[in-house]
Amino acid sequence: MFKNDQKGFTLLELTVVIAIIILLSGLVLTNYRVGEREYALLRSAQKLAQDLRRAQKMAMASETLPAKCGGEFPAGGYGIYFVTASNSYILFADCDGDGEYDLGPEKIEEIFLESKIKISTLSSDPFSLNITFFPPDPTIIIKPSANPATITLKNDGKTKTVKINTAGLIEID
């Protein structure tokens, strides 16, 4: 009879431990990707709310832009224009005072959402929405008319809704 003084793990024990590690790694990586997409959607909704506040601030501060509206304060204030199924929206100066974005000269900046995130629905019109801020009260004009205006962002079946009412309250659901 000989003595087995060797210490260590058997091949079966090592295989079981490696299988458990692979299984747990797969679960963690799968949930990480889902969480990453949800976080990207939340970041985009927060950015949209921040840009609405930015347009509101520009109107309240009566900012003038030298290249827009002849260097004067825009007759209709500042606003944001949305289009359904787009991955961007436009910050604009309403130079003609109609409460709507006119292609070209009123555009200040086009703001892009994160990749794979789209504007899926708008509150009253299925195609476009204008939200304009005008001082001093501030007056908020939503065209087409809706109170509150809702902008729904979508990413892989998940949605976030940004609401703004005519009093200027901005919510993210």
**Partners of residue 172 on adjacent β-strands:** 162
pLDDT for res 101: 92
Q: What is the mean pLDDT of each run of 10 residues along the chain (173 residues)?
A: 71 93 88 80 94 93 84 91 93 91 89 92 84 86 87 91 90 92
Rounded Cα gap, residues 28 and 131, in angstroms = 41
Beta strands in 5-101 (DSSP E): 78-83, 88-93
Q: Quick one: pLDDT at residue 2?
A: 61
Domain extents for the chain?
30-172
Question: What does pTM read for this prediction?
Answer: 0.79
pLDDT of residue 4: 65
Between the alpha carbon of residue 20 and those of residues 27, 32, 46, 108, the distances in Å are: 11, 18, 39, 55
Q: Span 30-172: which CATH code? A: 3.55.40
pLDDT of residue 30: 78
Predicted pLDDT of residue 31: 74
How far is 129 from 80, CA to CA, in rounded Å? 8
